[in-house]
Structure 1
Amino acid sequence: MKEKIVLIDGHSILNRAFYGLPNLTNSEGLHTNAVYGFLNILFKILEEEKPQYLTVAFDLHAPTFRHEMYAEYKGTRKPMPEELREQVPLMKQVLEAMGVKIAEQEGYEADDILGTLARRGEREGRDVTIVSGDRDLLQLATDTILVRIPKTRMGKTVIEDYHTAEVLEKYQVTPPQIIDLKALMGDTSDNIPGIPGVGEKTATKIIAEYGSVENAHEHLEEIKPKKAMESLRDHYDLAELSKKLATIDTDSPIDWDYESARIGSLYTPEAYDIFRRLDFKNLLTRFDSQKAESLKGPEVKLLEEFQEAEEACRRAAAARRAGICILPEQGQIAGLAVSLSAEDTFYIPAGGFLTPDYLKTVAERIMAEVPEVSTFGLKGLMKYARAPRQEGFFDIQIAAYLLNPLKSVYTYDDIAKEYLGAVIPSAEDIFGSVKLPGASVMTPEQAACYAGQTAFVSLAAREPLSGALEEQHMKQLFLEIEMPLVFTLADMEEAGIEVHAEELQEYGRNLQVRIDEVEKKIYEQAGETFNINSPKQLGVILFEKLKLTGGKKTKSGYSTAADVLERLAPDAPVVADILEYRQLTKLKSTYADGLMNYVAADGRIHSSFNQTITATGRISSTDPNLQNIPVRMELGRQIRKVFVAKEGCVFIDADYSQIELRVLAHLSGDEKLIQAYREASDIHRITASEVFHVPFDQVTPLQRRNAKAVNFGIVYGISSFGLSQDLSISRKEAADYIEKYFQTYPKIKEFLDRTVKEAKDKGYVDTMFGRRRPVPELKSSNYMQRSFGERVAMNSPIQGTAADIIKIAMIRVNERLKREQRKARLLLQVHDELLIECPMEEVDQVCALLEEEMRGAASLAVELEVDMHTGKNWYEAK
C-alpha cells in the first residue's frame, strides 16, 4: 500500500473555521472558535485519510518572492480580525503540543510550501492530500494529488474533493489552466487583479477554447464577446502579471523531511493540558490515558435479578421525576433504563421473568404515575409503551432542535456537552461505531451504559433546556405545539395507510408499458439502441450523432444533467422523451416497486414523521416519504389510487387554501392584500389586474398565470432571475413585474425589508408563534451566501408560521376526534393538506369538525380557508 501525506493550509482552514463557527471563549477569555473548528476538521480528515505523514503550512506574512515585485497589489486583502489574529499563535501552540509538523519559510507563502511538498511526494510515489479553503490550490490536483476544500453549506461543513477529473468537470478547465483562469478573472481574496470586465463565465469559455492566456492573446481577434477581446488587448500586461501571481511555486527551498512529519500519538499529555485549558471538553474523550477522568456520566446499575429490578421499579414509580430510555428489538422491549439521579440510574435487560411484557408494564406505569417524565425521542419510545396522558413529558431532542434547528443530528452526548457541560460516552465511544447496533448484538454492559446515559441526560438536561427555551421565548411553542404534536404523530404512525397491493402492481405494469413506448420512440429518433441510463452513451447520441447544440463536455463525457436537458427539450422532441423516460423510471423504482417494501403485515404503510429535520419547522416523512408523492404528471398523480380507505370508510382530504399568502397578508399588514382576501375574490386575478393595470374581468389567462408566479414567488424571496426562468421572460420584464407588485402591495416590501434588517441585527428570524430560525448566512463574506440568507430571512417567518398553523390544526383535529370518540383517524399530513380515514356514517360530522378546527387554528387578519374532498382512494379525494 502506498504511503500518504496530508498537507493542510493553516491560515486558510483557521479562517474558514473562524467564520464558520460562532464566537467561543474559554474561562480565561481567549477566543477559541477558529482553533476548535480547525481541530474538528483535522480529526475528520485524519479519520478519513489515515495518512502516515502530516504537515500544516503557515504564511509568515513577510514579503514573498512571488509578490515582492508587485507591491501595488499587496495589502488588498481585508485585514485579519483581531479575534482571529490572536488564535494563530495559539493554533501553532496546540499543533506543537500534539507533535504535528509545522512548515514555514521566510519569503514564501503557505501555498508555495504545499505545492513544493505535494509535488515532491508525488515524485516519490506517495499519495498526497491537500486541505485548503483556497481554490488556487486546485492547480496542483492530479490523479495522485487530491485537493480537499472544506466549505459551509446550509450551516453544515462539507468537503469537496478534487482530482484532475473533478476539476475538469466542475470548472471545464484542467488543473494547470486554473492559473490562466485566475489570470483573466482575478481573485481579490488572493491579491490577483485579473483584467477588467471579465468574469468567471467568460474567462472559462476563453481558456476552455484557447488553452492559455498566451494562446488566447495570439488569437485576439477571435475572442468573444468584444468587451473581453478589448480588455485582453488593452490589459495583456495585467493578465501576464496575474498569471505570475496565481502560479504556485512548486520548488521552494523548504527545510522538511518525512521523519519530522511522521504522525505519532497526537494525544500527548501536553495536548491534553492545553485542550483542558481551552475548555475543549468534548475533545478530551480522544485522550486514552485521561479518558476515564473526562467522562462524567452516572454509574449505571445493571439489574438482571427479578427482585432487585422490581424494587427499583417501585422506587421509580413513586418518584417525582424520571428519565427513561427503551431499547427495542423486533417490535418488543429488549431493555429499559430509568434515571432518578446521577446516583440512581439503572438498566433492566429482558430475560427470564423480566419479560418484554413486564418491562412494557413498568415503563407504562412510570409514564402514568411519575409527574415529570423526560425522554430522548418520545415518539420512538411510544411504539413500545404508550402514555395515558400528555402532561408532564419533556423530549430533550425536540427542545434541542428548537434551540438550534440548523443541526443535522441531535445526540444525547452533544446535549450533555452543550447544556450540562459534561462529557459522557457517546454511542461511538460505547460501540466503536456511530451506527447503533441492534440490542441483541450489544453486551449487557454496553446496553446498560448506552440506555442509562441516555436516560440520565434526559433527566438532567430538562431544566437547562427548559430555561433556554424560556430565555428564547419558545417555551410556549414547545409545550403547546411541539410536545402535543408528538402524540398526534405517534397516533398517525400507528394508524398507517392501507395500500392496495394489486393496484400497485397494476400501476407498475402500466408504467412499464409507457416506459417501453417512450424507449422505442427514443431509439427510433436516435437511429439505434443504446443505454438511455448511461450519461456517457446518451451524451454521444445527443451531441455527436444528433448534433444538438449546448452540450457541455467534461473529461468523462457530455453533461446530461436535468438542467441541460430541460433547456434543449422545447426544440428537441427526443430530449423531451428522455426527460419523460427518466420521470417514468423514477416513478417505477421509487413508488411502483419501492412502496411494496414498506407494506406491513396489516396491509398498511406506517411512515415515520419527523419533527427535528427541517429548519423552518415543517414536518418531514421518511420510510417511505409520503409527502413527496408526485403531482406534476398525471401518471405520477395516479399513484395515489393505490392508497385506499378501508372497508366502510372514505378519505377526506382537507387542504388549506393559499395559506402562505394569507400568512404574508397577516404579517405584512398590507391593506390591499387583506381586502382582496376579505372580498373572497380570485387573488391571482386581482393581483394581475393591479399589476398589469387592466380591469378585473379583462385579465387574460397568461396575465393571471404570471401574477400567480409572482404571488407565490414573493413568499420565497424570488429574484428577477428566478422569476425570469419560471416564466421564460427576460430579467428586465421579471424585475418590472416584481417592482409593480411591490407598488401594488407596498407593505409587503416594507415587511420583507424590515425582516431582513432585523435578521441581520439579531441573527435570526421568528414566526408568529415564536419559532426561531438562525440565519448565519447573512454574516457571510460570500455574496451568494448572503443572498441565500436574505431569501431565508424573507421566507422563514412565512413558511414557519404556516407550518406552525398546520401543526396546531393536526393537534386540534386529532384530539377532538378522540374526545368525541370518533372512529375517523388522521393518517397523513402533506404540506398544507390533512388526510383522514372516515367511516361513511361520520363524514358530515368529521367534515364540520375539520372545517372548524382547521379554520380556528390561528387568528389572522384574513380568514383561513379549507378545501375538502372525499373519495374511496387518495386520488379521488385529492
Structure 2
Amino acid sequence: MTQDPARTLLLIDGSSYLYRAYHAMPDLRAVPGDPASPATGAIRGMINMMQSLRKEVPAAFAACVFDASGPTFRDALYPEYKGHRSPMPDDLRAQIPPIHEVVRLLGFPVLDVPGVEADDVIGTLARAAAEQGLQVVISSGDKDLAQLVNEQIAIIDTMSGKRRDLAGVQAEFGVPAHLMVDYQTLVGDPVDNVPGVEKVGPKTAAKWLNEYGSLDALVARAGEIKGVAGENLRKALDWLPTGRQLVTIKTDCDLNGHVPGLPALDAVKMGEPDNAALKDFYEKYGFKSLAAKAAAGQDAPVAGGSTAVDPGMTQGLFDEPPVVAADRPALRYETLLSWAQLDAWLEKIEAAELVALDTETTSLDEMVAEIVGISFSVTPGEAAYIPLRHAGPDAPEQLPFDEVLARLKPWLENPAKPKLGQHVKYDRHVFANHGIQVRGYAHDTMLQSYVLEVHKPHSLESLAERHTGRKGIGYEDLCGKGAHQIPFAQVDVAKAAEYSCEDSDQTLDVHRVLWPRLQADDKLRFIYELEMQSSEALFRIERNGVLIDAPTLAAQSHELGQRIVALEQEAYAIAGQPFNLGSPKQLGEIFFDKLGLPVIKKTATGARSTDEEVLEKLAEDYPLPAKILEHRSLSKLKGTYTDKLAQMANPRTGRVHTHYAQAVAVTGRLSSNDPNLQNIPIRTAEGRRVREAFVAPAGRVIASADYSQIELRIMAHISEDAALLRAFHEGQDVHRATAAEVFGVELAQVSSEQRRYAKVINFGLIYGMSAFGLAKALGIDNTAAKNYIQRYFERFEGVKRYMDETRQSAKSKGYVETVFGRRLYLPEINSPNGPRRGAAERAAINAPMQGTAADLIKLSMVAVQAAIDAQQRGTKMIMQVHDELVFEVPEAEVDWVRTEVPRLMADVAALKVPLLAEVGVGPNWEKAH
C-alpha cells in the first residue's frame, strides 16, 4: 500500500496506548519522589508515543479513539462480556482526563463515543475513509482489528514493529483478512471473555476455514467433522451466531454527532501542536525539559523514533530536575597558538577561584593515553584550547609540547589552585603519563551528579542537556564512528578547539547548578566529599597496579585445558556420540530426545530450554548436565582469566591496572573492569587458584584486610535489634546465635547443619529472599521455609520492624539512605507493576546495607591511604574488591599492616556494634586469605 500523507487517515487505538504507557513507565509524579503528588507516568508515556507516531506516520487526518465509560450493545447481548477483566487502576483512571487533554494539544482529534466501543468507532471511521479513497493506517496491537484490513486499510503494531496488511494477516493467522471474523468466532476471545469452540485453536480454525471456505459452509457440514473437535463444533452451533456478533467490529455505527461532517472528514483533520498551551501543561505536570522545548516551539519526540516504550530505558529519563534558563552570554572560545596567548591565559587561571580543565587524548585507556590538547574555562561562555599534537594536513604550527607542559606544571601541581573536571580520575592518569601529578582537584561534575541523582546518566552530554538545556558537539560528530573513525589528533584544530572548549565551558556550567544543591544538604555534601577523596585514592590504586605471575597462569591454563578436553570426552561417552557442548539445539536433542531427560521449562519461542537454571536442576539427578556445567565453568575461567590476565599487563609496568568505575552502581559500590577483579569465581577451588597469580615482588608480600560480616553488623546497627546487638557485642558467632534463636536450642547445642541454615537465612533476608527462595536455597519445602522465616522474625523483632518501616518510608520518599546519608533512589517503589514493585521493595531493604558497606570501605580506603602518606610508608594499596583492601607490603612493614590497618578500618565510624577487620598475609593474594 503506497501511502500519500495528504490522503492518509491515521487512527490510534488510544485505550491500548494508555495501558501500554501505564505499564511500561515507572511511577512518575508531578513532584518527583512525592507519592501524594498526581501520578504522571502514563501521561508521559502517552506523550512520547504520540509524538513519535506523528513522525513515523505522516497523515493529514487522524483521530485518537478511546473507550468511553458505560455499557455497549455487547454487554446487553452477553452479560459475561469482559466479565473477568480487572477494574482500571485508580491512578491510571486519574490520568485519563489529562491524557485526553494533551493528545488534543499535540494536534490529534480525540474521540470517545458513549455506548460505542473504540474498536467500533475505529471500524466505522476506517470504512468511511476507505470508501472515500483514503489510505487508512490503524495503530494498535489488538489483533481483533485485523478483520478490518483490506487494500486500503492496514494496521501497525508499534510495540512489536509488526505490520498487518493483507499479506501480513495471511502470514500471521493462516487465513485471509476477509475470513478473520469467522476465524475469531471459532477460536473465541479470552481477553474479552468470549467463548469459541472448545479446544479449537488457531491451527484447527485456519485448517477448517481454508478447507470449507467460510464459517457458514463449515457449519452447514458440521456433521462431517470427525473426532472430539467435530463433537465440540456441533455442541457450539447454537452459540456461534452470538459469538460472531460479539467479535464482529461494527463499521456502521451512529456516532451520535461526535463526528459531524464525517463524509468530508473535517472532524478528523490533523492539527498543529499548541506549543503555548503545551508549555503550561508540561509545567503543571512536572515535565520541565518538555516545557522548555515547547517554549522553543519544538514538538519533536523526547525519546527518539519508536512509539514503543522500553521500560529499561525509562529510568532517569522522565523524572526531571529543573533546566536552567538559556539566557547565556555569547560564546568566546580561543585557540592558543602563540606564547602571548598562553601567557594571558596562564594569568587568568592563576587568578581564578576555580578553573574547569579538560584533556583531549589519544586513547580511552587512561594508562596509555597521551595528551593531544588541553582546554580551560574560568567564566561562563569563555574558554581556551591549547592544541599540542594535532597532525592533520591543515594543522597549524603549535606550541612545543614539552615546553607548554613545563609552563603548566607548577599550576597543575599546586594544591592551592582549585580545579574542576568531569571524571577527573581519568585526567589525573593522563597528566601522570607525562610526569605531572595534578593536585587541587576540588570538584568533579560526574561525581556531583552521582551523589545527587545516582539513578540518572552522568555523562557530560547528559548533564549539560539536563541541567543547562545545552546540547553540545558529540565525539562521533567530530571523529566519525566505526572503521571510519579518525584519531582526535587528525581532527581540524578549529573544530577540536570548539569541542574541547565547549566541554570545559559546559563542565563549569553544570558545576554552577549542582554544587549549590550539594552545599544545601550536609549529608549529601559529606558523601560527595567522600567520593572526591575516594577518587584520589582509587587513582593511586590503579596507578600502583598488581604484579601478575604469568608462568603460574600458564600452568593453570594448561591444566584447565586438559580437564576441559577430558570433560568433553566424558560427556560424549554419556551421550553416546560427539556433539557441540555449547549448542542449545544439540543439547536439547541429546537431553530430551535421546536420553529422555525431563523438560524443565521452555523458551519464549516454545523451544526446550537448556539454560543455566535448567542445567542446575537436571544436574541434581543426571550426570550429563553436571558435566556440561563444569565444562562451562572451567571454559569461562580459562578464557576470561588464566588465558588473558597476563596479556593485560601493561608493557611499561609489567602489572595489571584495573579500572574502578565510581559512578555506576546505585549502591555506591565500585565496579572493576579491564580486568574485572570482582568476578573471579572464588567458590570453586579452580577459581580460588587464579588469585595465586596475584603476587608481590621480591622483598614484599601481599596483605588482605577484610571487614567481617559487615552487612549483618550494619543490619544490627540500623534495626537496633536487641538479639543481634547482643550477639555482636558479646563476640558470638552470629550465625550460631541466630540458629540458637530460630531452632530454640542452647548455643553449645547448635549443629553444623543448623548453623548453615541460619547463615542462609541471615544473608537471604538481607537480600529480600522469599520463602520460595529460601526453600530452594536450603532444599526444603515452602512450608518449612515459611516457618523458619516466621520464627526468625518472632525472635528478631527489630529486624522485622526495620523491614516494615523501611518499605513504608521508601514508598513515601521514593528513596532510602545509608547510615551516612547516601541516597539510593527507587523509581519503581510505587509501580503498578507487581514484579517491579516487589523488586524495588527488596532493594529498599538491602540497599541501605550494601550502600553503607560501600561507604565504609571507601572511608577505610581514604583513612589507610592518608596514614600511609603521613607516615611515608612503603606499603601500597593495590586492589579494592567488595569489602576487602589488598596491599603490597615491604616485609619490614608487615607488623604495621597487621596492627594498624584493622584499627584504622574499625575506627572510620562509630556504629552501635563494633566493626571488625581481619588481615591475612601471604606470598600471593590467595595465601593472604
Q: Given the alignment, which residue of 344, 348, 370 partners 2:382?
A: 344
| Deviation of 1:653 (Å) | 0.9
Which residue of 529, 533, 537 maps to 1:484?
533
Q: Distance in 2 between matches of 1:297 and 1:582?
A: 60
Deviation at 1:299, TM superposition (A): 1.6
> Is 2:878 the counterpart of 1:806?
no
Q: Which residue of 2 aligns with 1:155?
A: none
Instruction: Write the letter of the residue equivalent to 1:59.
Output: F
Pair 1:109-2:109 in alignment = no
Deviation of 1:447 (Å): 2.7
**Which of residues 735, 743, 747 in structure 1 aligns to 2:786?**
735
Residue 604 (structure 2) pairs with residue 572 (structure 1): no
Q: Distance in 2 between matches of 1:242 and 1:299?
A: 72
The one of 698, 718, 724 aligned to 1:667: 718
Structural mapping, 1:713-724, within 5 Å: 713-724=764-775
Contact kept? 2:428, 2:438, Cα under 8 Å: no
- The AA in structure 2 aligned to 1:349 is P
5+ long unaligned stretches in structure 1: 151-158, 169-174, 196-205, 216-231, 261-265
TM-superposed CA distance for 1:513, in Å, is: 0.8
Query: Structure 1 residues 135 and 326 mapped into 2: Cα distance closer, same or farther (>3 Å)?
Result: farther
Which residue is 1:334 aligned to?
Answer: 372
Q: Does residue 305 of the first structure (1) align with residue 337 of the second (2)? A: yes
Of 300-309 and 683-692, more deviation after overlay is shown by 300-309
| 1:427 corresponds to which of 474, 491, 501 | 474
Partners in 2 of 1:127 and 1:533 — Cα distance? 48
- Measure the CA separation in 2 of the matches of 1:599 and 1:129: 58
User: Residue in 2 aligned with 1:153?
Assistant: none
The CA deviation at 1:470 is 3.8
* Corresponding position of 1:760: 811
Letter in 2 for 1:715: I
Q: Which residue identity does 1:21 align to in structure 2?
A: L
| Residues 747 and 75 of structure 1, relative CA distance in 2, 3 Å threshold | closer
How far apart are residue 431 of structure 1 and its match? 4.4
How far is the alpha carbon of 1:648 from its aligned partner?
2.2
- Given that 1:300 and 1:452 are in contact with CA atoms closer than 8 Å, whether structure 2 keeps it comes out as no
Matched, 1:394 2:427: no
Q: What TM-score, normalized to structure 1?
A: 0.78
Amino acid at match of 1:424: K
Q: Does the CA-based 8 Å contact 2:27-2:832 persist in structure 1? A: no
**How far does residue 296 in structure 1 lie from its aligned partner after superposition?**
5.4
For residues 627-678 of structure 1, what are the alpha-carbon distances to aligned partners after superposition, in whole Å with 9 as ceiling and x for unaligned? 1111121112211122222232211011111000011111111222111112
Which of residues 424, 434, 441 is equivalent to 1:378?
424
Cα distance in 2 between the residues matched to 1:39 and 1:51: 15
Give SS of 2:678's match.
helix
Letter in 2 for 1:354: L
- For the pair shown, the structure with the greater C-alpha radius of gyration is 2
Q: Which residue of 2 aligns with 1:541?
A: 590
1:508 paired with 2:553, answer no
Q: Distance in 2 between matches of 1:843 and 1:137?
A: 77
Instruction: Indicate yes or no: 2:22 matched with 1:15.
Output: yes
- Partner Cα distance (1:627, 1:241) in 2: 65
For 1:241 and 1:18, the matched residues in 2 are separated by 40
Matched, 1:591 2:641: yes
SS of equivalent residue, structure 2 residue 706: strand
CA distance in structure 2 between the partners assigned to 1:139 and 1:754 by the alignment: 53
Report the CA distance shift for 1:429/1:597 in structure 2 as closer, same or farther (over 3 A). closer
Match for residue 659 of structure 2? 608
Matches within 5 A, 1:549-564: 549-553=598-602, 555=605, 557-564=607-614
Q: Does the residue aligned with 1:459 lie in a helix, a strand or coil? A: helix
TM-aligned CA distance change 1:354 to 1:286, over 3 Å? farther
SS of residue in 1 equivalent to 2:527: helix
2:66 match? 59
In 1, the alpha carbon distance for the partners of 2:567 and 2:246 equals 50
Residue of structure 2 equivalent to 1:87? 98
Aligned residue among 648, 668, 673 for 1:617: 668
2:383 counterpart SS class: strand
CA contact (8 A) 1:650 1:873 kept: yes
Task: Note if 1:77 corresponds to 2:88.
Answer: yes
C-alpha deviation, 1:699, in angstroms: 1.5
One-letter identity of the residue aligned with 2:575? A
Please say if residues 406 and 615 of structure 1, whose CA atoms lie closer than 8 Å, have aligned partners that are also in contact: yes
Preserved contact between residue 664 and residue 670 of structure 2 (Cα < 8 Å): yes
Shift of 1:728: 1.1
Contact preservation (8 Å) 1:298, 1:342 = no
Please, which of 686, 689, 692 is the counterpart of residue 743 of structure 2?
692
C-alpha contact 1:333 1:360 (8 A) present in aligned 2: no
Name the aligned partner's letter for residue 315 of structure 1.
K
Deviation per residue, 1:126-146 (Å, 9 max, x gap): 9999676x99999999xx998
After superposition, the Cα gap between the structure-2 partners of 1:545 and 1:249, relative to the gap in structure 1 and judged at 3 Å, is: farther
Q: Equivalences for 1:95-244 in 2 at 5 Å?
A: 95-96=106-107, 107-109=116-118, 149=159, 192=192
Cα 1:249–1:795, aligned 2, differ >3 Å: closer, same or farther?
A: farther
Residues paired across the two proteins, number: 799
With structure 2 as the length reference, what TM-score do the two structures score? 0.74
Partner of 1:218: none
What 5-or-longer segments of structure 2 have no aligned partner? 5-9, 174-179, 209-231, 283-287, 301-324, 364-368, 390-396
Q: In 1, distance between residues paired with 2:705 and 2:540? A: 18
Query: Where in structure 2 are the equivalents of 1:354-369 lying within 5 Å?
Result: 354-358=399-403, 360-361=405-406, 364-367=409-412, 368=414
2:632 match: 582
The alpha carbon displacement at 1:543 in A equals: 0.7
- The answer as to whether partners of 1:653 and 1:869 remain within 8 angstroms in 2 is yes
Comparing 534-543 with 270-279, which one deviates more in the overlay?
Answer: 270-279
Is 2:22–2:41's contact at 8 Å kept on the other side of the alignment? no
| Distance in 2 between residues matched to 1:245 and 1:646, nearest whole Å | 84
Query: Do residues 404 (structure 1) and 453 (structure 2) align?
Result: yes
C-alpha contact 1:325 1:381 (8 A) present in aligned 2: yes
Give 1:560 deviation, angstroms: 0.7
Residue in 2 aligned with 1:712?
A: 763
Could you tell me which of 727, 742, 747 is aligned with 2:798?
Answer: 747
Deviation string 1:359-388 (CA, Å, 9 cap, x unpaired) is 545665444366432211111111123686
- Please list the CA deviations of residues 90-143 of structure 1 after superposition, one character each: whole Å capped at 9, or x if unmatched: 4324542xxx7989888343699599999x99xxxx9999676x99999999xx
Contact 1:34 1:87 in 2 (8 A): no
- CA pair 347-295 structure 1, distance change in 2 beyond 3 A: farther
Give yes or no for contact 1:654–1:867 (8 Å, CA) kept in 2.
yes
The alpha-carbon distance between structure 1 residues 685 and 443, as it changes in their structure 2 partners (threshold 3 A), is same
Question: What are the Cα deviations for residues 446-471 of structure 1, in whole angstroms up to 9, with x where unaligned?
Answer: 43333222212322332431232244
CA contact (8 A) 2:29 2:40 kept: no
Structure 2 vs 1, CA of residues 571 and 434 (structure 1 numbering), >3 Å: closer, same or farther? same
Residues 1:640 and 2:691 aligned together = yes
Name the CA distance, whole Å, in 2 between partners of 1:160 and 1:773: 39
Letter in 1 for 2:351: A
Q: 1:318 aligns to what?
A: 351
Task: Answer 1 or 2: higher relative contact order, Cα 8 Å, separation at least 6.
Answer: 2
Secondary structure of the residue aligned to 2:358 is strand
The amino acid that maps onto 2:523 is M
Name the SS of the counterpart of 1:844 in structure 2. Answer: helix
Q: Is the 8 A contact 1:390 1:487 kept in 2?
A: no
Residue deviations 1:33-90 (CA, integer Å, cap 9, x gap): 755544545677899xx77889784315266666664567599323565762343244
Which string of whole-angstrom CA distances, capped at 9 and with x for unpartnered residues, describes residues 518-569 of structure 1? 1111111111111111101110110111011124455473211111121111
- Residues 335 and 494 of structure 2 are in contact (CA less than 8 Å); yes or no, is this contact kept in structure 1? no
> Which digits, 9 at most, give the CA deviation of each residue in 1:767-824, with x for residues without a partner?
1100111223221112222221211111111111111001100111112112211121
Matched residue type, 1:87: P
SS for the counterpart of 2:378 is strand
Cα deviations by residue, 1:422-456 (Å, 9 ceiling, x for unpaired): 33325279549899975235433443333222212
More displaced stretch, 515-524 vs 326-335: 326-335
